[in-house]
Structure formats: C-alpha cells, structure tokens
Structure 1
Amino acid sequence: MEPDIEQLLSGPRGRRLCLELAMEMDQDIRIAVFHLGYKLDPGSGRSRRMLIMSPSGEAPPPLPEPTVNELAALITSLDLKGITNELVQKALERAVDTARYWQEPEGEDILAATEAITEPLAHVARSVVGLPATASWDQKAQPGQWAIDWRSADDPTPLPRNPQHTLAEWARKERAMEIRASKERPQDPHANFSGEWWSIPHGLIQTVARIPEGLSLVEDSLGWEEATTIPVSGTGRILEIRTEEDWTKLCRAFSLEVTASRRHDWFRTTGRHGRWVIPDWERAATEWDAVHLTVAGYLSLAGRALRVSEHTASVIAGWDPGSTIWLTDVARESELPRQHWHHPHNDEHWELVSSA
C-alpha cells in the first residue's frame, strides 16, 4: 500500500472519511454500511434502535442482510470518477462530526477498521489523495488565520489574552484532577466512570486557516448557528503535528501523566489498558509559541493510542483538524474585518452575513 494511502487509512478518522465518501457515491453501499454498522455498534438495540415499517404500518418481513464480503465487493468496484471537492469536504465533515473519545467507537468506525473493509477502502483513498480538496491537508500553519467565536456580531468579544496565566491554571487543575481521580475512581477500565477526555487546553487562542470550511470541522460540536470569525496574524516557533512521532516526541519532552483522569474514557475509545500521558502545555510553551495539527495528521492520528514509551501512550482528542493552538502571546487580531456567519437550520452550508 502506498505511504500516503497507508497513512490515511491508519487512523479511525481517515478510514471514516473514506467510508463516508463511498456512501456518498453509492446508495447500495450506504444501505449495507447502515445494516452492518448497526450490528457492530455497542449501543445496538439500546441507545441505537432500528425500526422498519411498511406503508401499511405493519412490520414488513425481514430483508436479506448484506454481508461484509458483499460490502467489500461494492467498495472495490465503485466508480470514483464522479468524486468532487464538495463530496470530499462533506465526508471530512462527517468524519470529524462522528469522532467520540468518551465512549466506544460507532459501529461504522468498527466496520471500517476490519481488515475486510480497510483493504477495499484503499481504492477510495487512492482517488482522494491528490485531489484539489486535499491540497491543504498537509499545509503548515499560515501567518494569517481565523479565530472562531461562536456568538453573533451583536455580542463582540476580544481575543483571549495572557496565555501564561491560562496555561498555569490549566496545569494546576489537571494535576489536582489527576490526584483526585486516583483516589476516587477505580483502576478497572471497564468501570462506568467518565470525565475529561480531551488532550488540549481550553481558553487559548485557537485558529484555522480556511473559512468557512473550518466552521464545519469541529469535534463535539454543539450545533451552533451563529459564528464570528476574527482575523488573526501570528508567527513564531510553531510545531507541526503531522506524524505520530511529532506528537509522541512532544509528550516525551513535556510529559504530564493523566492515567487516572483519562483511563476509563480512553480505554473505551481505544481498547488500550495502561498508563496515559499528554503534553504539559505550560512547559511546552517554554519551547513553542504554537502547535498546529494538520488535517492529514488529524486523519491518521486522532483517536488512536499513540505509543510514547514502553509503558505509556497518548491520544489526540478534542483537537479540530487544521487548527493552531497559540501557547504564547504572539497572536494578534489583524486589520482585516471580522466576519459574521449564519448556519440556517437544516442547511449544510454556512452563509456570510456581514463583514465589518
């Protein structure tokens, strides 16, 4: 398998993107994934139910269920000449929207991770790599970017300042939470406990390079319909997260143990039982001004158990693809106008309302 294809299919979000794209291209694939994903979903029959009714209102006789081999054959024979940039963007949005790190993966993600389906998905991945829509996936952080404020233009707010204080508070709370969790939560990873699951700090300036695309690439979105995008200019020592080694090297250099506080959530999402670490972002700020997660890095890395050392691993969770986190006070609002965007209910696209 070619390196770019293997990288895309090595991560759960990359596999999901390819599966979503295949479903967009063929209705029979969508139906097969729906049935097979339902059977594999941990919530099947409980939090996720399938109801099929005939026009008369009575339950119809059960339909023949597709097999994994039949789905694999459909994907392998798929005609991909009709792939467009819009379809790739839509599949990327679905891959991001379905990410979850606080419970088991969806049935569709489990399905895409099986060898019987991952191999056929390489057929889709080959058609994706090299398209204009993917040209920016490995792009470095740009000097001019956009911060997103999920409020309307009628409620303006300045960009957050004093990242040193924010990171100090974050580090203090993380250590306190880890101590508390080690005392109050069981070591059994199957225990029904949940808590903090993200691996990045909140309250800092976070930016994306592309608008409006970045408005729809948000993990664990709350379904916002209003957004103000703020032009930001920033430069300095920017670490690019493209590969597993980029992330694990950062974790080794500035290691913060989070086993007790992340154990249960990350076991559910990765299946790994062991010690967990994330970067100590306060200490990382002594070396780096910002850290940028490329879209390609996100697709291959997010949601995986990434080996840091013989006994520890880490997860990239809660970090939107293509976004930059500013650790020091080097990012400023530029002279370009802010933009106000609106997402009409039940519409797929964001609309520019004003620029001022």
Structure 2
Amino acid sequence: MEPHIEQLLNGPRGRRLCLELAMEMDQDIRIAVFHLGYDLDPGAGRSRRMLTMSPSGEAPPPPPEPTVNELAALITSLDLKGITNELVQKALERAVDTARYWQEPDGEDVLAAVSEIRSALAHVANGVLRTPAAESWTREAEVRQWSIDWRSAEDPAPLSGNPRQKLAEWARNQRAGEVRAARERRADIRANVGGEWWSIPHNLMQSTGQIPQGLDLVEDSLGWENATAIPVAGTGQILEIGTAADWIQLCREFPLNVTASRRHDWFRTTGRDGRWVIPDWEKASSRWDAVHLTVAGYLHLAGHALEVDPAEGTASVIAGWNPDTTFWLNDVVRESGEPRQHWLRPHNQDEWTLQG
C-alpha cells in the first residue's frame, strides 16, 4: 500500500471519508454499510434502532444480511471515474460531522476499521488522493483567513481578543479540573462518567482558510443557520500540524497532564487506557503565535491515540479541532478591513447561501 494511502487509512476520519464517498457513489454499498454499521454500533437496539414496515403494516421478514466480505468486494469493484471534488467535499463534511470523542465510535467507524473493509478502502483512497480537492489538504495557513461568528448580520460582535488572559484562565481551569477529576471520578475506566474531552482551548480566536467550505467542516456542530465570515490577517510564528510528529513534538515540549479528566472519554473513543497529555497552550504561546491543523493532518490524526513518550506511557488525542483551523495564541491577528460576508442556511437545507 502506498505511504499516502496508508497514512489516510490510519486515521479514523480518513477511513470514514473514504467509506462515506463509497456510499455516495454506489447505493448497494450504502445499503450494506447501513446494515453492517447498525450491527456494529454500540447503541444498536437502544439509542439506535432499525425499523422496517411492509405496506400492509406488518413487519416483513428481514432481508439477508450482507457480509463484510461482500461489502469489501463491492468497494474494491467501485468505478472511481465518477469521483468529483464535490463528492469528496461532501464525504469530508460527513467525516467531520460524525466525529465524537466522548463515547464509542459509531458503527460505521467501527466497520471502516475492520481489516477487510480497511483494505478495500485503499481502492477508494487511491482515487481520492488523485483529486484536486485532496491536493489542497496540505495547504498551510495563509496570511488572509476567515473568522466565523455563528450569528446573524444583525448581531455583530468584535473579534475575540486578550489571548494571554484567556490562555492563563484556560490553564488554571485545566489544572483545577485535573485535580478535581482525580479526587472525584471513579477508578473504573468503564464507568459512565465524562467531562471535558477537547484538546484545544475554545475561548481563543480561531480562523479557517476557505469559505464557504469551512462553514461545514465543524465537529459537534450545533446546527447553526446563520454565519458571519470575518476577513482577518495574521502573522508570526505559525506551527503547522500535518503529521503525528508535529503534534507529538509539541506535547513533548509543553506537556500538560490531563489523565484524570480525559481518561474515561478517551478510553471510549480510542480503546486505550493509560496516561494522557495535551499541549500546555499557555506555555506553547512563548514560542508559537498560532497553530494550524491542516485537512490532511486532521484526517490522519484526529481521534487517534498518538504515543507521546513510550518510557512514561503517555499518549495524546487531537479532539475538537476542526480541519484547516488556526488557533491564535498571541495577539497578532486583526480584522483586515475587507467586507464581512453573511451566510444563511435555511432550516433542513444543506447549502449555505451568501447574502447581499
């Protein structure tokens, strides 16, 4: 398997993108994934139910269940000529939208990690990585970006500021939360407890490189229907997170222990029980003005347990960080003065529309 394909399929979100694309391109694949994903879902029969009904109102006999090998054969025989940038973008949006780091992966994520399906998805990954859309995934942070305010044009707000104060507050809260979790949470790793699962501070100024694409690449979205895209410009020392080594080095240089506060949630999402660290963003700001997660880095790394220090048994997770998003650690970004853009997505519609 080619290194770039292997790298994409090593990531839970990368595998999900390939699976979503295969479903978009073939209805038989969609049906098979629906059934197999349901069977593998941790909420099957409880939080997730499958209902079937015949025209007569009686439940029909269940159809023959597809097998993993049958699905793998469908995927490997998929004609890749129909792949478009639009389909890849939609699959990326679905991969982001279905990310969850506070509970077990859903059935489709579990299915994509099954060895037979993962091997079959190499066929799809090969087609994906040849598209112009994928070529942009390694794009680094540019000077001109967009900050998104999830409110309407009638409710304007200034850009988020005071990063030093906010980072200090974040660091205090993290350390206090860690002490509290160590004292109060049950030792049983499978206990039904949880809390903060993010690996980045959300109270900082953040920006994205592309609009309207960035409006749809949001983890754990709240279903916003209004967005104001604010043109910004920032300079300084920007760290690019595109590989596991980038994140691991940052965690090694500025480690912050979050084992007690993250272990239950991150065990559920990764299956790993051990010590956890994230970057101490307050200390990292002494070296870096901003940190940017590329789309490729997101697909390879997000939701995956990344070994930081084998000797100490520490690992880390990138969680809650949208692809192609820059977090500004220092006060080096300003609104550019170009016109703000106001976008609307009416209820139950998929597309954002530029207003005015």
State the partner residue of 2:180.
180
Tell me by how many angstroms 1:80 deviates. 1.1
Cα separation, 1, equivalents of 2:149 and 2:131: 30
Which range is displaced more, 52-61 or 26-35? 52-61
> What is the one-letter code of the residue matched to 1:128?
V
| Percent identity over paired residues | 73
Which residue number corresponds to residue 314 of structure 1?
316
What is the one-letter code of the residue matched to 1:71?
Answer: L
Q: 2:42 matched to which residue of 1? A: 42
Matched, 1:349 2:334: no
Q: CA RMSD in A?
A: 0.6
2:167 and 2:302 mapped to 1: Cα distance? Answer: 22
One-letter amino acid matched to 1:41: D
Question: Structure 2: how far apart are the matches of 1:57 and 1:4?
Answer: 50
Partner letter of residue 36 of structure 1?
L
Letter in 2 for 1:12: P
Q: What does 1:180-199 align with in structure 2 at a 5 Å threshold?
A: 180-199=180-199
**SS of residue paired to 1:136:** helix
Q: Counterpart in 2 of 1:220?
A: 220
| 1:318-329 matches, cutoff 5 A | 318-329=320-331
For residue 188 of structure 1, report the CA deviation from its aligned partner. Answer: 1.6
Q: Deviations over 1:224-252 (max 9, x none)?
A: 00000100100110000011010010001
Does 1:94 pair with 2:94? yes
Q: Deviations over 1:97-150 (max 9, x none)?
A: 000000000000000001110001000000010211112100010100000000
Alignment of 1:118-267 (within 5 A): 118-267=118-267
4+ residue stretches of structure 1 with deviation over 4 A?
none
- Aligned-pair CA distance for 1:187: 2.0
Cα deviation code 1:331-355 (max 9, x no counterpart): 000021001000122221100013x
**Do the aligned residues in 2 keep the contact of 1:187 with 1:260 (CA within 8 Å)?**
no
Give the TM-score taking structure 2 as reference length. 0.99
Deviating more after overlay: 283-292 vs 125-134: 125-134
| SS of match in other structure, 2:137 | coil
Q: Could you say what secondary structure the match of 1:324 adopts?
A: strand
State the partner residue of 2:19: 19
**TM-aligned CA deviation for residue 87 of structure 1:** 0.5
Task: Output the CA distance in 1 between the equivalents of 2:57 and 2:133.
Answer: 44
List gaps (5 residues or longer) in structure 2: none
Distance 2:56 2:347 in 1: 32
**Count of residues in Structure 1 that have an aligned counterpart in Structure 2:** 354
The equivalences for 1:268-283 within 5 A come to 268-283=268-283
| C-alpha distance in structure 1 between counterparts of 2:126 and 2:246, whole Å | 25
**Does the aligned pair in 2 maintain the 1:306–1:314 contact within 8 Å?**
yes
Letter in 2 for 1:326: W
* Letter matched to residue 138 of structure 1: T
Between the aligned partners of 2:158 and 2:222, the Cα distance in structure 1 is: 22
Amino acid in structure 1 at the alignment position of 2:197:
W
Aligned equivalents of 2:244, 2:209: Cα separation in 1:
22
